[in-house]
Structure 1
Amino acid sequence: MQPPSAAPVPSSASGSTPLLVEPEVRRLDGVAREVSVPPLVAPVTYGSLADLPFENAEAAPADVVLSRRAEAGKWTPVTAAEFAEQVRAVAKGLIAEGLAPGDRIAVMARTTYEWTLLDFAAWAAGLVTVPVYPTSSVFQTRWILQDTGAVALVTETAAQAAALRPERERLPDLRHLWVIEKGHVERLAESGAHVPDQEVAVRRGVLGPDTLATVVYTSGTTGRPRGCALTHGNFFAEVDNAVELLYPVFKARTREEASVLLFLPMSHVFGRMVAIACVRARVRLGHAPSLKSEDLLADLASFRPTCLLAIPYMLEKVFNVARAKAELGRRVSTFDRAASVAQRYGEALEAGRAGTGDGPGRALRAARAFYDPLVYRRIRNAMGGRVRYIICGGSPLGRRLAAFFVGAGIEIYEGYGLTETTGAATVTPPLKPRMGTVGWPLPGVRVRIAADGEILLAGGPVLRGYWDPQAGGVVPATADGWLATGDLGSLDDEGYLAITGRKKEMLITAGGKSVAPAPLE
């Protein structure tokens, strides 16, 4: 029997090798103005994200789908069957506590196992999750809780809960305040023991792709932040096509088990999207709550991921720290020569894949092999020793830095997106990367460049609307289906997108022309 949320996929997309689907580029006066890539996976027509743990438990109950941090340096494997049972138990606890379908439950925590567990348990109970950054002020947190009318809040620490207790009088809808470090998630699972399993099945059964899954607040560069109302269908359109496109990360089967260590904030849609993709593809997922160098390095060494999520700053830091260590060891000249070789190797590899060159020559391959144990392997070992892929987003990554990591043996998949696009709207195509760009549209997404250079986006992952309690729920985000991003960009002749600036930074000349002060590096 086919899982409820499964959708038929093109036969070419479900095969054993990744596909290269060329984009359709539309031009105006000879200049590329719009680009689209057809979806690799048909849109989901029924079911929800809440079904994923149970589908996995039925299809492959013994597969390890997550690892949970235990004592230092230890990870406890969690099978698909175990995770589904935990999701069901916590969902029953939420039901026992009186949370009704459509109620909002906020989560204020770092990147932890409990975050993902609560996400799926809340969905299984028919709820809507609302992420809150653990660094948010009391005012910011109160605003989000008031705006969504959240009936429950789960904090990671007792200190976070204590800071919010004086605000309870201003939060009449908030009935429950649970604390992860006090064991309240486990108590929830116990409190729902008397709730029949069928109650969870019934609540799951009424959910569909158009059901609201989460309200994620933007950073709010001006005024108050806006709540992006993302549906289960938005996530499926994003995740299913990303899993197919990024075949090497999520679907390739090698001698090494695929695994992702997540350390970017779960309060951001990028981190949650990748967590959902891992559950969807049954790729082992781990959570690293601390970004302190010593803690993160220890987690990388013990978990040994094959894929990481990162922002460009982190990759810059890895490069700079490696060079600084080489300088202390009086090996900086060796490092610089190795960096030059890696950059040239990465660029030659890109040219070979694009058909504009022959790939790395014999001398370049020999030089790379020479420097691998001296420099590149040490960098890979600092990341756990098995990292082969890094998914990078948040801001543009410099071409030279991307080429260095590719030459050092780590593929870089750069993407661009917003909270409103449920994560990535564009991403590097693995079979035809172009460093210095943010790739092609994710399959199923359309990108348009407006007359003033603003990037417009449309497609399955793009939100339907913003949360607006005064209007009774969700109000449409666009009038015509095209989301105005506020970012400036350009398309090359083959449809690759480059980010060039922010629209708010535009200068208006005396002649009325809009110009960006400088392109982004």
Structure 2
Amino acid sequence: MTDTQTLIENRPPSVATLFLERVAATPDAEAYRYPVPPESGEGPDGWQSLTWAAAAERVNAIAAGLMDLGIRPEERVAISANTSVDWILTDLGILCAGAATTTVYPSTNADETAFILADSGSRVLIAEDAKQLAKARERRAELPDLAHVVVMDGAAATDADGDGWVLSLDELVKRGSAYLEQHPTAVTDAVAAITKDQLATLIYTSGTTGRPKGVRLPQDCWAYMARAIDAIGLLDENDVQYLWLPLAHVFGKVLTAGHITVGHVTAVDGRVDKIIENLPVVRPTYMAAVPRIFEKVYNGVAAKARAGGGAKYKIFLWAAGVAREYAKAAQNSMRLTGAPTVPMGLRTKHAVADKLVYAKIREAFGGRLRACVSGSAALAPEIGYFFSGAGIHILEGYGLTESSAASFVNPGESYRTGTVGKALPGLEVRIAEDGEILLRGPGIMQGYHGLPEKTAEVLESDGWFHTGDIGELSPDGFLKITDRKKDLIKTSGGKYIAPAEVEGQFKAVCPFVSNVLVVGGGRNFCTALLALDEPTLLTWAAEHGLEGRSYAEIVATDQARELIDGYVQRLNEGLQRWQQIRAFRLLPRDLDVEHGDLTPSLKLKRPVVEREFAPLIEEMYAGAREA
């Protein structure tokens, strides 16, 4: 048996066990960093540190506090809050009590929040603030199982009902500390009693239609993921991870499991608008993100170069081309010879471009970044190659909520842009006759909560899970995702098109685009709905006599349409005739979570967008000639 097999097969039954092992092994080591208000005067650069021992003290008190409230093994405790160190510690407290966490995005409206709380049978809700408390209070009559709401923001924890239904997180911790004085082994006993098949987490998928489904992930899923992440060796105890991803999403959640096993430092701040500000302060060596972040950085760098004048923009375009050429050459030689060798002439150009462009990009990320992991959606390969050549190594991964997030990830030095890497150790994969990716292993869900028929549609009796994604597996095990099975477009001429592939190519070609949706199912040619990046567009507008106009006013102008038409034509040059975009419309606003166009993990809700902008789509096809 290999060391990797031993590490995974001898895993404990739960992450709670792994957490106690980590605390025992390195109690005084730094576990977390988190931002504190400037007026507090605590910690350098406005950040405070927490050791594993200090984290365990709070986790144990939260676990004991939940026990004192009557929470028992596998009973659900929901968390509705933005990413923070308290989110992580509360989740660990729930797990160490033997209970199960129901995750709720704080952006979820009151109606859907009530549905998730009711469907999951959650007994306690941990709410971030008054806004999250109000959602539960508004629907209290519909939530007979919800015995308490615990509010992280103590000032917002008003017991207006006068019956103890609401308490603050600090009050819960005090109750837990008192409980431990009476029952000192309560938490360690609860952790010791956890079995691998016990429910650990209910994560509700963001459905594009209908109610979301609760994905049941048992304790063993997270223990396996933690050990598998450790086994692939991407991280070690000296790393500093910057964690901003929503912890209600499985991608963020799996990172907390890996962190416990490896034992590195995690800096936590869920405020997306603080990412650029935080990176030079935290100076992470590792960060996970969704493609939209890298697209925004790329567009921002391009826009800054354009604003610097024609000469600077030409230098940027030249450097971007060199970066892609360099990355492709290095990755090809790595695949063929095992070493990233690059021709001398290209190395010389790359060295010049590095001084002019790449070094500044790396510095913006903190200057120490060894690798980024990108997941949740496809990253346009040309953007991946750009960052790779610039020294920001983006390792694409792949997984679903139903597979505990991490199923595939690119290996550190021998990663291949455009693929999602190799299967994690312990995971089986096969490609069905129609190209669908099937998975089987310890990270696969138990099923959908209370939905046996829906479960049977995707999970076979022998454990094979149907992902709904189409992919290709190379002889040496690298997986390439080509599209969602249900998202493939078939034109009226019988041609199949993968819209995500075309959309990704356009994002690499056009630095102004924010979101793009290709349409063409049952039609005789393809069209596109395009939303532009507002800051980049406003900068361009100011340079072209449109200063002072709003986003909606700018996209309605002939100048904006002509600008984007040039990029569409460039895109079409590299596409097959049936893939080409024959018409497009600029949307009057960007697509976002608030309007329901994107899921909280920033995935495009195609049916929703197509319904909302149906008049624009019909306009593009009205009176069109046959392709």
TM-score (norm 2): 0.72
Percent identical among aligned pairs is 35
- Rate the CA distance shift 1:339–1:516 in 2: closer, same or farther, 3 A: closer
User: What do the CA deviations read for 1:343-373 (whole angstroms, capped 9, x no partner)?
Assistant: 1221122122212586123333333222223
- Provide the C-alpha distance between the structure 1 equivalents of 2:68 and 2:50, rounded to a whole number of angstroms: 25
- Rate the CA distance shift 1:213–1:316 in 2: closer, same or farther, 3 A: same
Instruction: Name the counterpart of 1:219.
Output: 206
Q: How many residues align?
A: 477
Residue 242 of structure 1: how far off its partner (Å) = 2.0
Give secondary structure in 2 for the equivalent of 1:490.
strand
- Rate the CA distance shift 1:45–1:346 in 2: closer, same or farther, 3 A: closer
The answer to whether the aligner puts 1:290 opposite 2:271 as a matched pair is: yes
Give the partner amino acid of 1:488: I
- Rate the CA distance shift 1:453–1:163 in 2: closer, same or farther, 3 A: same
Instruction: Name the counterpart of 2:36.
Output: 70
**Structure 1 contact 40–443 (Cα < 8 Å) conserved:** no
Instruction: Name the counterpart of 2:447.
Output: 465
Counting only pairs closer than 5 Å after superposition, residues 183-332 of structure 1 correspond to structure 2 as 184-195=168-179, 196-245=183-232, 247-248=233-234, 250-251=235-236, 257-292=238-273, 295-330=274-309, 331-332=312-313
The answer to whether the aligner puts 1:110 opposite 2:97 as a matched pair is: no
**Structure 1 contact 56–81 (Cα < 8 Å) conserved:** no
Task: Report 1 or 2 for greater relative contact order, CA contacts < 8 Å, sequence distance ≥ 6.
Answer: 1
Higher strand share: 1
Matching residue within 469, 472, 475 for 1:490: 472
Give the partner amino acid of 1:97: L
Give secondary structure in 1 for the equivalent of 2:355.
helix
Further displaced range: 448-457 or 133-142:
448-457
Residue 296 of structure 1: how far off its partner (Å) = 1.9
Instruction: Name the counterpart of 2:119.
Output: 147
The answer to whether the aligner puts 1:385 opposite 2:367 as a matched pair is: yes
- Rate the CA distance shift 1:469–1:338 in 2: closer, same or farther, 3 A: closer
Counting only pairs closer than 5 Å after superposition, residues 451-462 of structure 1 correspond to structure 2 as 451-462=433-444
- Provide the C-alpha distance between the structure 2 equivalents of 1:411 and 1:40, rounded to a whole number of angstroms: 30
Residue 480 of structure 1: how far off its partner (Å) = 2.6
**Structure 2 contact 482–498 (Cα < 8 Å) conserved:** no
- Provide the C-alpha distance between the structure 1 equivalents of 2:206 and 2:192, rounded to a whole number of angstroms: 34
Residue 189 of structure 1: how far off its partner (Å) = 1.1
Give the partner amino acid of 1:80: W
Residue 169 of structure 1: how far off its partner (Å) = 0.5
Further displaced range: 215-224 or 264-273:
215-224
Matching residue within 20, 25, 34 for 1:54: 20
User: What do the CA deviations read for 1:257-314 (whole angstroms, capped 9, x no partner)?
Assistant: 411111111110110101221122111112222112xx22222222221111111121
User: What do the CA deviations read for 1:82-107 (whole angstroms, capped 9, x no partner)?
Assistant: 11111111111111222222210000
User: What do the CA deviations read for 1:406-448 (whole angstroms, capped 9, x no partner)?
Assistant: 2111222101110001012111122432211111212211222
- Provide the C-alpha distance between the structure 2 equivalents of 1:110 and 1:451, rounded to a whole number of angstroms: 41
Matching residue within 60, 65, 70 for 1:98: 70
Further displaced range: 400-409 or 501-510:
501-510
- Provide the C-alpha distance between the structure 2 equivalents of 1:134 and 1:469, rounded to a whole number of angstroms: 25
**Structure 1 contact 155–178 (Cα < 8 Å) conserved:** yes
Counting only pairs closer than 5 Å after superposition, residues 324-363 of structure 1 correspond to structure 2 as 324-330=303-309, 331-355=312-336, 359-363=341-345
Give the partner amino acid of 1:354: R
Q: Which runs of 5+ in 1 are unaligned?
A: 1-8, 14-38
The structure having more radius of gyration, on CA atoms, is: 2
- Provide the C-alpha distance between the structure 2 equivalents of 1:429 and 1:102, rounded to a whole number of angstroms: 36
Give secondary structure in 1 for the equivalent of 2:94.
helix
Further displaced range: 276-285 or 424-433:
424-433
Instruction: Name the counterpart of 2:611.
Output: none
Instruction: Name the counterpart of 1:441.
Output: 423
**Structure 2 contact 95–200 (Cα < 8 Å) conserved:** yes
Give the partner amino acid of 1:347: K
Residue 115 of structure 1: how far off its partner (Å) = 0.8
**Structure 1 contact 466–474 (Cα < 8 Å) conserved:** no
Higher helix share: 2
Instruction: Name the counterpart of 1:18.
Output: none
- Rate the CA distance shift 1:412–1:445 in 2: closer, same or farther, 3 A: same
User: What do the CA deviations read for 1:438-476 (whole angstroms, capped 9, x no partner)?
Assistant: 1121221122221222211111211122211899x9999
Instruction: Name the counterpart of 1:123.
Output: 95
Give secondary structure in 2 for the equivalent of 1:197.
coil
- Provide the C-alpha distance between the structure 1 equivalents of 2:22 and 2:488, rounded to a whole number of angstroms: 49
Matching residue within 50, 67, 87 for 2:59: 87
- Provide the C-alpha distance between the structure 2 equivalents of 1:304 and 1:45, rounded to a whole number of angstroms: 32
Residue 71 of structure 1: how far off its partner (Å) = 2.0
Further displaced range: 62-71 or 167-176:
62-71
**Structure 1 contact 107–130 (Cα < 8 Å) conserved:** yes
Give secondary structure in 1 for the equivalent of 2:461.
coil
Residue 40 of structure 1: how far off its partner (Å) = 7.3
- Provide the C-alpha distance between the structure 2 equivalents of 1:466 and 1:235, rounded to a whole number of angstroms: 17
Residue 517 of structure 1: how far off its partner (Å) = 5.2
**Structure 1 contact 305–386 (Cα < 8 Å) conserved:** yes
**Structure 2 contact 74–200 (Cα < 8 Å) conserved:** no
**Structure 2 contact 469–484 (Cα < 8 Å) conserved:** yes
Residue 155 of structure 1: how far off its partner (Å) = 1.1
Further displaced range: 67-76 or 400-409:
67-76
- Rate the CA distance shift 1:40–1:449 in 2: closer, same or farther, 3 A: farther
Pairwise CA RMSD? 2.5
- Provide the C-alpha distance between the structure 1 equivalents of 2:203 and 2:432, rounded to a whole number of angstroms: 27
**Structure 2 contact 114–135 (Cα < 8 Å) conserved:** no
Give secondary structure in 2 for the equivalent of 1:481.
coil
Give the partner amino acid of 1:190: K
Give the partner amino acid of 1:236: A
Residue 514 of structure 1: how far off its partner (Å) = 9.6
Give the partner amino acid of 1:70: V
- Provide the C-alpha distance between the structure 2 equivalents of 1:404 and 1:507, rounded to a whole number of angstroms: 29
- Rate the CA distance shift 1:194–1:168 in 2: closer, same or farther, 3 A: same
- Provide the C-alpha distance between the structure 2 equivalents of 1:476 and 1:298, rounded to a whole number of angstroms: 42
Further displaced range: 94-103 or 356-365:
356-365
Residue 510 of structure 1: how far off its partner (Å) = 9.8
- Provide the C-alpha distance between the structure 2 equivalents of 1:365 and 1:155, rounded to a whole number of angstroms: 53
Give secondary structure in 2 for the equivalent of 1:370.
helix
